[in-house]
Structures are given as structure tokens and as C-alpha cells.
């Protein structure tokens, strides 16, 4: 298969509010032209999520490119991947301190613990500022959206089609608000609802995690090859966490305390493709006290990537700040997601950004787009641990003329992990022709 990928670098201002400043960041841009140029529709820009995922890298590997983009998209679009500022080949952020301080609990139950968490977060943020400089203040979604529109302009395109996956839906919101008439089509998979204040976000995400645990337990009961088949799976989780409470568990060249173990288990139940690893990991802990199997799902798996993730995420949320709010948030998370003691992707971000000393202008609000905004397509799975269905439902109500394709099943997004090939293909058809009818996926019941 021919794979005519071209790469370049495009310079943009570090701070778009002072774009005449000499401070610049070079964006890594990759482009694969339509394989059927005679049927070319236009340009498809995309953000694959994270935050911290490289878009350009998805285009440079032919096998990955073919797997990520259905044939319809490869044939009909020039597909352009831009590494967001601070990510991959676009001046990646680096920080002198690790993002997680084991001495500061991420689940404070007292004002003193809340204060320790805020101090630890501030220490990490300042270490990023020391190493990354001014860029660290300008890695939010609005800056990324302005970068993407500059790339659009350089490509000579009046309008683009856009695919946002997970965190990419947050970038899409900023782009849609700033440049609504530059969009020809907009597909959103794994939708983040940025209108919710932190209490509602925690309520929805924590409940989704507990649902995810139930789905994992049910899978293990129905699957003879599950390492915990026929056993009390919730009890195994409880025993594993209790064992880590007594002493951090060895995991390769690392150790996992109970909070890190809960975080790893949250990641391991995010996709049915990981369920067998979650079960094997729990079995190894219960039998031998060895957490090595779960290490790849822990924050230790990619410390540089986690630093980028945290630094960017904190420019796009408004977490609880006061000690009493952090204590209340812990109580709420643990009440709604007791099995994993409140661990969730949303809590990881909100607790990690509490006390973040680098200002952000972001405030929760619904989508602000005109009434003639293009017909957008949203995809949502019924058991998405990371971006739950209620978020997609709420965003669907916010966007005029939008369509919500609900698919039934487990996994974070339809696009990733093969969780819903039907929904992914429906999105590809929509992107080629935004007027095409979109029906519910055949396996969807909700």
C-alpha cells in the first residue's frame, strides 16, 4: 500500500494574544493525501485525545494509519495530523518533578491533607514552568484551536472537517466556538461535557466507574478463562487494596500503594480488551502480593507522558480549590464509586489540578455556537468509564441540529480498541457526506 505521507513544521505564536511577539512554537504537521484524488472531499483534521497524544505519529506509520482511519476517509480526504503544542514533535513539555507525590494523598479527608495535596500540585506545576517556560501557560484548548485554524489557513482551505476523540472533543469545542463557520463537518467520539461544574462531573464519572466494575465482574463470571472465574471479584479487589494499604506492592522496579493500584485498576477496566489483564493482576496480588501485571496501567507506565497530560489538562478545568471542597469531593467520589475508592479519570484530573498556580481562563459553560452550526455527529457508548453517556446526552442538547449515535457496549470511545466498528464506520460515512442519514448502530439498545 502506498502511503504518501508528508511532514513539515509550522510556526505559531506561543501567546496568540500577542502574536507579534518573537516567542514561537513549531508545530509538527503530517499529511496523507486522499488515495482517490478524483473523489477528494477536502481536508480532515483530527485530535486523538489524551491530552498528550500525537496526531502526526498516527499518520507516519502505514499500519497504524490504516487501522485508525476507515477506507472511506483514507480515499476521500487529505488527512492532516498536528501534534498539539507541548506534545510529541511540537516542543513537548517537560517537568523537573514527577506529577504524583506519594506523600500527598489524592483523596484528602482532612483540611491538612487537602493542604498537602495543593502544595504538592503547586510544586509540580512550578517545576514544569521552570523547564518549559512560557509555553506552559499557553497549552489550553483555545491555543490549540487557534493553531489548528492557522494550519487550515496555510493549507488554503476555506473549511475543514474535524474528528475529535475523547480529549479531542474539548479541542473541538474551542474550535467550534472560535471558528464555527470554518467547519464543514464535526464528529465527536467519547464526548466530554465542559458545561458541568466539578461536583456534577465527579458524580457522573464516579458512577460510570462503579458501573464499569460491575461490567468487569459480570464478564469474569461469564468467562471461564478469567483468572478469577467463579470467585468473588469485588472481594478480590477489596483484598488487593487492603494488602496495598499495609505496604506498597512490588511491581517490577516500582511499588504501588493502594491509591496507585486503584488508579491502575480503573484504567484496566476501561476496555474489555484489558479485562483479562485486570483479572490476572488481581489474582497475582491476592495470591503472591505481586502487582507487576498491573504496572502498565499505572501512572508509572509513562511518567513524561503523565506530566504532559496533567499540565495540559489543568489549563482546561476548574477543580475544587478550598480544603472543604476537596474533602467533600473525596467523600462524593468514594460514595459513588466505593469499589475503587473513588478512582476515576475525572477525579485524577480534578485532584491533580487543585491549587494549580498557573492561571487558566477556562470556566465551565455549554457550547456557544450559532443556530446555523453544521450538523454534528456525536458517538457514545453505554458503558464508557472515562467519558460517560450522560456527558454526551448533555452536549447533544447544547449543539443545534446535532445527532447522537448511541451504541451499546463496553469501552472508552467507539474509535479506539475496536469497541464499536459499526459506530466508527457510521462516523466515516457522515464525515464524507454530512447530510447522510445516521441510524442507530444495530447493536445499540439504549
pLDDT higher than 60, residue 442:
no
pLDDT higher than 60, residue 252:
yes
User: How many other C-beta atoms are found inside a 10 Å radius of the C-beta of residue 383?
Assistant: 20
Q: Quick one: pLDDT at residue 304?
A: 87
Q: Quick one: pLDDT at residue 301?
A: 81
> What integer best gives the mean pLDDT of the chain?
93
3-state secondary structure (DSSP) of residue 43 = strand
375-408: pLDDT as tens digits: 999 999 999 999 999 999 999 999 999 999 999 9
339-348: pLDDT as tens digits: 999 999 999 9
The phi-psi region of residue 336 (left if phi > 0; otherwise alpha if psi is between -120 and 50; otherwise beta) is alpha
199-217: pLDDT as tens digits: 999 999 999 999 999 999 9
Whether the CB-CB separation of 43 and 158 falls below 8 Å is answered with no
Of residues 444, 407, 357, 386, the one with CA closest to residue 170: 386
pLDDT higher than 70, residue 160:
yes
Whether the CB-CB separation of 210 and 337 falls below 8 Å is answered with yes
Q: Which of 143-147, 240-244, 438-442 has the lowest mean pLDDT?
A: 438-442
Whether the CB-CB separation of 32 and 59 falls below 8 Å is answered with yes
Sequence-ordered list of residues with C-beta below 8 angstroms from that of 393, at least 6 positions apart, any chain: 380, 404
Select the more confidently predicted residue: 70 or 442. 70
The Cα–Cα gap between 72 and 430 comes to 10
Whether the CB-CB separation of 95 and 86 falls below 8 Å is answered with no
Q: Quick one: pLDDT at residue 445?
A: 31
> Predicted confidence band at 2 (pLDDT cuts at 50, 70, 90)?
low
Q: Degrees (nearest 5) of the Cα angle 409, 274, 254?
A: 145
What is the percent of the chain where pLDDT is above 70? 98
Whether the CB-CB separation of 178 and 149 falls below 8 Å is answered with yes
Whether the CB-CB separation of 407 and 268 falls below 8 Å is answered with no
DSSP secondary structure string for all residues of 106-167: SS--SHHHHHHHHHHHHHHHHHHHHHHGGGGGG-SHHHHHHHHHHHHHHHT-S-EEEEEETH
162-185: pLDDT as tens digits: 999 999 999 999 999 999 999 999
pLDDT higher than 60, residue 440:
no
DSSP H stretches of helix in 363-438: 389-398, 421-432
Whether the CB-CB separation of 353 and 313 falls below 8 Å is answered with yes
353-382: pLDDT as tens digits: 999 998 888 888 999 999 999 999 999 999
The Cα–Cα gap between 122 and 115 comes to 11
Residue 380: φ, ψ to 5°: -150, 130
Sign of the alpha-carbon torsion through 325, 331, 336, 340 = positive
pLDDT higher than 70, residue 236:
yes
3-state secondary structure (DSSP) of residue 206 = helix
Q: Quick one: pLDDT at residue 151?
A: 97
7-51: pLDDT as tens digits: 999 999 999 988 777 779 999 999 999 999 999 999 999 999 989
**Entry pTM:** 0.93
Amino acid at each position: 500500500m502506498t502511503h504518501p505521507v508528508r511532514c513539515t513544521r509550522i510556526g505559531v505564536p506561543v501567546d496568540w494574544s500577542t502574536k507579534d511577539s518573537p516567542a514561537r512554537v513549531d508545530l509538527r504537521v503530517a499529511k496523507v493525501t486522499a488515495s482517490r484524488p478524483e473523489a477528494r472531499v477536502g481536508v480532515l483534521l483530527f485530535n486523538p485525545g489524551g491530552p498528550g497524544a500525537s496526531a502526526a505519529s498516527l499518520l507516519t506509520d502505514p499500519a497504524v494509519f490504516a487501522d485508525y482511519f476507515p477506507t472511506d476517509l483514507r480515499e476521500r480526504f487529505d488527512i492532516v495530523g498536528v501534534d498539539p503544542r507541548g506534545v510529541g514533535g511540537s516542543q513537548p513539555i517537560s517537568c523537573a518533578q514527577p506529577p504524583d507525590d506519594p506523600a500527598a494523598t489524592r483523596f484528602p479527608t482532612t483540611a491538612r491533607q487537602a493542604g498537602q495535596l495543593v502544595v504538592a500540585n503547586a510544586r509540580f506545576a512550578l517545576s514544569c514552568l521552570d523547564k518549559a517556560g512560557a509555553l506552559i501557560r499557553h497549552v489550553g484548548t483555545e491555543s490549540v484551536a487557534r493553531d489548528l485554524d492557522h494550519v487550515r489557513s496555510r493549507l488554503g482551505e476555506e473549511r475543514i472537517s474535524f474528528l475529535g476523540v475523547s480529549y479531542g472533543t474539548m479541542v473541538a469545542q474551542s474550535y467550534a466556538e472560535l471558528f464555527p463557520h470554518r467547519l464543514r463537518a464535526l464528529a465527536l467520539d467519547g464526548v466530554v461535557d465542559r458545561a458541568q461544574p466539578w461536583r456534577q462531573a465527579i458524580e457522573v464519572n464516579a458512577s460510570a466507574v462503579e458501573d464499569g466494575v460491575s461490567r468487569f465482574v459480570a464478564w469474569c463470571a461469564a468467562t471461564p478463562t478469567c483468572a478469577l472465574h467463579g470467585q468473588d471479584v469485588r472481594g478480590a479487589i477489596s483484598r488487593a487494596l487492603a494488602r496495598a494499604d499495609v505496604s506498597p506492592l512490588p511491581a517490577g522496579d516500582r511499588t504501588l500503594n493502594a491509591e496507585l493500584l486503584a488508579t491502575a485498576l480503573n484504567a484496566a477496566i476501561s476496555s474489555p480488551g484489558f479485562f483479562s489483564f485486570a483479572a490476572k493482576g488481581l489474582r497475582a496480588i491476592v495470591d503472591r502480593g505481586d502487582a507487576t501485571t498491573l504496572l502498565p496501567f499505572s501512572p508509572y507506565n509513562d511518567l513524561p507522558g503523565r506530566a504532559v497530560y496533567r499540565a495540559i489538562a489543568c489549563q482546561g478545568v476548574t477543580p475544587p480549590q478550598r480544603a472543604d471542597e476537596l474533602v467533600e469531593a473525596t467523600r462524593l467520589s468514594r460514595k459513588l464509586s466505593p469499589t475503587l475508592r473513588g478512582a476515576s479519570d475525572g477525579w485524577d484530573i480534578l485532584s491533580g489540578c487543585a491549587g494549580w498556580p498557573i492561571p487558566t481562563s477556562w470556566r465551565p459553560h455549554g457550547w456557544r455556537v450559532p443556530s446555523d452550526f453544521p450538523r454534528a455527529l456525536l458517538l457514545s457508548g453505554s458503558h464508557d468509564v472515562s467519558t460517560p453517556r450522560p456527558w454526551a446526552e448533555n452536549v447533544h442538547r447544547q449543539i443545534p441540529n446535532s445527532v447522537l449515535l448511541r451504541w451499546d457496549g463496553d469501552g472508552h470511545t467507539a474509535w479506539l480498541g475496536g469497541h464499536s466498528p459499526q459506530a466508527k464506520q457510521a462516523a466515516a460515512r457522515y464525515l464524507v457526506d454530512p447530510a447522510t442519514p445516521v441510524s442507530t448502530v444495530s447493536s445499540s439498545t439504549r
